[in-house]
């Protein structure tokens, strides 16, 4: 890889465009990923917010479930926001029937834990590894992390609940930094991808 990593955004459903913009402004080459051939060409992958049950169904339909699980297991850096965090959980507490995840982070998540759409909110969140003050966390029907395994580093909590974690090359936040102008978390992820290359 050159110093400019190529980072994909899983483009099945969700706020793909916002992540493409945030990654580009954090000095990565960003492109949408829908097919296994496209997945094979990227150095890292963002899994956006949206609806995890839909992303799960479409990933199966597009033949991405197994290739993506394999790449994550092989150490490809991944970053999931909100529904993307759910997709990276090894276990969901309250899955819809048939809902599967890619896994990669040894954690149990609770979907919609912070309430419904009209209970969405913003809050400053201090994140380990992010300097110069808290990030603006946008929580939209956000999950929280109920519990984590020993290999998982908790990077942030809000209201006593875990909202950001990292395990090896997998990073996840309950909130949506791509919806703010603050791209420090994307920059952290781009650094993770560079370091892995
Ligand atoms: N509640 C949604 C889910 O279960 C996530 C919401 C979001 O990504 N903003 O997938």
Do the Cβ atoms of 69 and 56 come closer than 8 Å? no
Q: Return the pLDDT at 87.
A: 98
Give residue-wise pLDDT tens across range 87-132. Answer: 999 999 988 888 899 999 999 999 999 988 778 999 999 999 999 9
| pTM, two decimal places | 0.96
**List of domains in the chain:** 6-196 (3.40.50.880)
Q: Is the CB of 54 under 6 A from ligand 1?
A: no
Q: Which atom of ligand 1 is nearest to the CA of 50?
A: 8
CA distance 20 to 174: 19
Residue 176 among the catalytic residues: yes
CA distance 116 to 107: 22
Segment 66-73 shows an average pLDDT of 98
Give residue-wise pLDDT tens across range 185-194. Answer: 999 999 999 9
CA distance 189 to 181: 16
Would the pLDDT of 154 be above 90? Answer: yes
CA distance 80 to 159: 21
CA distance 41 to 58: 20
Residue 178 among the catalytic residues: yes
Query: 103 alpha carbon to ligand 1 midpoint, in Å?
Result: 16
Do the Cβ atoms of 99 and 92 come closer than 8 Å? yes
Q: Is the CB of 50 under 6 A from ligand 1?
A: yes
Identify the H or E element spanning 81.
Answer: strand 78-81
Would the pLDDT of 1 be above 70? Answer: no
DSSP state of 190: H
Do the Cβ atoms of 173 and 139 come closer than 8 Å? no
Q: Is the CB of 141 under 6 A from ligand 1?
A: yes
Q: Could you count the other beta carbons within 10 Å of the beta carbon of residue 129?
A: 15
């Amino acid at each position: 890889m050159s110093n400019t990593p190529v980072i994909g955004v899983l483009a099945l459903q969700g706020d793909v465009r916002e992540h493409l913009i945030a990654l580009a402004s954090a000095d990565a080459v960003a492109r949408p990923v829908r097919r296994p051939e496209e997945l094979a060409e990227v150095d890292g992958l963002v899994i956006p917010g949206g609806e995890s049950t839909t992303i799960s169904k479409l990933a199966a339909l597009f033949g991405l479930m197994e290739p993506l699980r394999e790449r994550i297991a092989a150490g490809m850096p991944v970053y999931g926001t909100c529904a993307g965090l759910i997709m990276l959980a090894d276990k969901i507490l309250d899955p819809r029937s048939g809902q599967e995840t890619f896994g990669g982070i040894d954690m149990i998540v609770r979907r919609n834990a912070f309430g419904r759409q009209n209970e969405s909110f913003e809050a400053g969140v201090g994140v380990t590894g992010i300097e110069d003050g808290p990030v603006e966390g946008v929580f939209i029907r956000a999950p929280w992390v109920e519990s984590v395994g020993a290999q998982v580093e908790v990077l942030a909590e809000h209201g006593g609940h875990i909202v950001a974690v990292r395990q090896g090359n997998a990073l996840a936040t309950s909130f949506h930094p791509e919806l703010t102008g603050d791209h420090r978390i994307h920059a952290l992820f781009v650094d993770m991808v560079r370091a892995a290359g």
